């Protein structure tokens, strides 16, 4: 196996098995998280609480998940992705089974906020992107985009499936099914397939070979760039971390809001849960195309240009959701915003690894993901309050569109050709700083 996996003339480099395993885990973990909106109505009805209360539970979960990210990132740098992700999945699956037995809103809130939200940080995306960054150099963007696209597959398959299970058996049966898949499916994959570094199998990133060694100037590899950090606090002294962090906050605001309120928004406008779930599945399908396309393009051109475009396109989607009738708006949003939905994750992570190096990539990505999740927490709560007070989600959607314009601008301002090890030693073309 090792000889075959290390042979660059074949397509069976073991890193692609790692990608496939994390892809599946992403589909399970992120797909179920994206389905949170399905449970808002059933939980509010069963426990006799308002949508604002469920929004507060979701928001608190995003806060805990965000605060956990740097911790998980540091643990990943110390112990490796296999240990961190396997432990996270074991806790996540067990807690999901317990969630199905919640006798009241307080137990449900504790399990979701304290246990599940912390555990899922140990599964996606901080440890997985740090893991993939160590396995790939030249094809880092492609590999990370494949992993991230697992979340799209999860949305395509799991959101409609869980909506159907809710109709057939209720939310408790649905959560039992989810927990079983996590423990019997995702956990064994992590334990038996994941390896932390290619060196563990006597391999080199990308499968090694002369082509990989000759292409280090484009990939970054082991070369040091202007901002390569030996200690992670050094990152705070440079502009790219602040620019990427600013845009990633907005990413969290917009994805969390829609993940929690997209289906409740549709049902409040008289659209059935089933139709809303299908629209969300379309969004996830188009996101699959967008994530893979963005990753492929970013290995061939500056990543920050693709990242900025992703934010601006998503902004157009929110404009459509705010101004069109809901019956048309949910589908228009799915089509336009779908191609941008999770594409920010591999692009941001790949940029961070190439600007600051892979030594501390776990905690660096963890810090970026923390502000992403904290932004999401605020957005989930504010959108719920907006609906409760104003009876409309339109102000929240319009505000998101404006923030996405700013996020795209911040991403475009990253001087990638100057600070990324991917371009280290490559001469700057005339006028490149304006559009590098």
Asked whether residue 107 is domain-assigned, the answer is yes
Residue 284 domain-assigned (yes or no): yes
Measured N-to-C along each axis, helices 239-268 and 51-79 cross at an angle, to the nearest 10 degrees, of 150
Q: Please report whether residue 429 resides in a domain.
A: no
Enter the tokens of residue 210.
């002369």
Any domain includes 293: yes
**The two structure tokens encoding residue 379:** 């957005």
CA distance 278 to 163: 9
Give the list of residues 6+ apart from residue 261 with CB closer than 8 angstroms, or none. Answer: 37, 55, 380, 383, 384, 387, 393, 396
CB environment 396-412: b (16+ within 10 A), e (fewer)? bbebbbebbeebbebbb
Domain of residue 34, residue span: 10-198+216-424
Domain presence at residue 430: no
Number of domains in the chain: 1
Q: What is the pLDDT of residue 38?
A: 85
Specify whether the CB–CB gap between 226 and 419 falls below 8 A: yes
Domain assignment present for 358: yes
Cα separation of 120 and 122, whole Å? 5
Which residue stretches of the chain have pLDDT < 50? 1-10, 210-222, 425-436
Question: pLDDT for 267-311, tens place per residue?
Answer: 888 888 888 888 888 887 888 888 888 888 888 889 999 999 999
4 belongs to a structural domain: no
427's tokens: 């001469």
The pTM is what?
A: 0.76
Q: What is the widest separation between alpha-carbon atoms in the chain?
A: 66
Q: How many CB atoms lie within 10 A of CB 271?
A: 17
DSSP-derived secondary structure for 240-268: HHHHHHHHHHHHHHHHHHHHHHHHHHHHH
- In tens, the pLDDT along 346-391 reads 899 889 988 988 878 888 888 898 999 888 888 878 888 888 788 8
295 within 8 A of 146, measured Cβ to Cβ: yes
Q: What contacts 24+ positions apart, CB below 8 Å, involve 422-426?
A: 422/218, 422/219, 422/220, 422/225, 422/354, 423/217, 423/218, 424/217, 424/220, 424/223, 424/224, 424/225, 424/226, 425/217, 425/223, 426/217, 426/218
Residue from 368, 370, 330 nearest 350 by CA? 368
pLDDT value for 208:
66
Residue 47 CA: distances (Å) to CA of 43, 71, 108, 177? 6, 33, 10, 21
Which pLDDT belongs to residue 94?
Answer: 97
CATH code for position 321: 1.20.1250.20
Cα-Cα end-to-end distance for the chain = 41
Is 434 within a domain?
A: no
């Amino acid at each position: 196996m090792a000889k075959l996996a290390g042979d660059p003339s074949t397509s069976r480099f073991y890193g692609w098995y790692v990608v496939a395993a994390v892809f599946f885990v992403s589909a399970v973990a992120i797909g179920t998280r994206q389905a949170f909106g399905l449970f808002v109505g059933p939980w509010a009805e069963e426990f006799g609480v308002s949508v604002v209360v469920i929004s507060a539970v979701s928001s608190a979960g995003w806060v805990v998940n965000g605060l956990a990210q740097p911790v998980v990132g540091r643990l990943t740098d110390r112990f490796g992705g296999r240990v961190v992700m396997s432990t996270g999945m074991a806790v996540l699956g067990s807690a999901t089974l317990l969630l199905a037995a919640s006798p009241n809103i307080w137990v449900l809130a504790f399990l979701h906020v304290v246990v599940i939200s912390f555990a899922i940080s140990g599964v996606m995306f901080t440890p997985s992107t740090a893991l993939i960054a160590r396995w790939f150099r030249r094809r880092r963007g492609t590999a990370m985009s494949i992993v991230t696209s697992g979340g799209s597959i999860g949305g395509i398959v799991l959101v409609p499936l869980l909506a159907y299970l809710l109709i057939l058996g209720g939310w408790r049966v649905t959560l039992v099914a989810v927990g079983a898949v996590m423990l019997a499916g995702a956990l064994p994959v992590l334990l038996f397939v994941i390896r932390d570094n290619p060196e563990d199998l006597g391999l080199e990133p990308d499968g090694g070979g002369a082509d990989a060694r000759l292409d280090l100037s484009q990939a970054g590899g082991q070369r040091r760039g202007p901002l390569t950090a030996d200690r992670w606090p050094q990152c705070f002294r440079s502009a790219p971390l602040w620019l990427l962090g600013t845009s990633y906050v907005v990413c969290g605001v917009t994805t969390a809001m829609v993940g929690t309120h997209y289906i409740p928004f549709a049902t409040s406008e008289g659209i059935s849960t089933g139709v809303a779930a299908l629209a969300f599945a379309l969004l996830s399908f188009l996101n699959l195309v967008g994530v893979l396309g963005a990753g492929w393009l970013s290995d061939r051109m500056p990543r920050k240009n693709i990242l900025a475009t992703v934010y601006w396109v998503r902004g157009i989607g929110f404009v459509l959701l705010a101004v069109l009738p809901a019956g048309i708006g949910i589908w228009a949003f799915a089509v336009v915003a779908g191609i941008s939905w999770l594409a920010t994750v591999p692009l941001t992570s790949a940029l961070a690894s190439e600007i600051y190096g892979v030594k501390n990539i776990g905690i660096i990505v963890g810090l970026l993901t923390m502000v992403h999740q904290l932004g999401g927490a605020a957005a989930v709560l504010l959108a719920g309050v907006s609906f409760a007070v104003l009876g409309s989600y339109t102000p929240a959607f319009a505000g998101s569109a404006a923030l996405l314009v700013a996020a795209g601008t911040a991403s475009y301002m990253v001087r990638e050709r100057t600070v990324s090890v991917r371009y280290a030693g490559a001469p700057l073309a005339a006028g490149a700083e304006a559009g590098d």
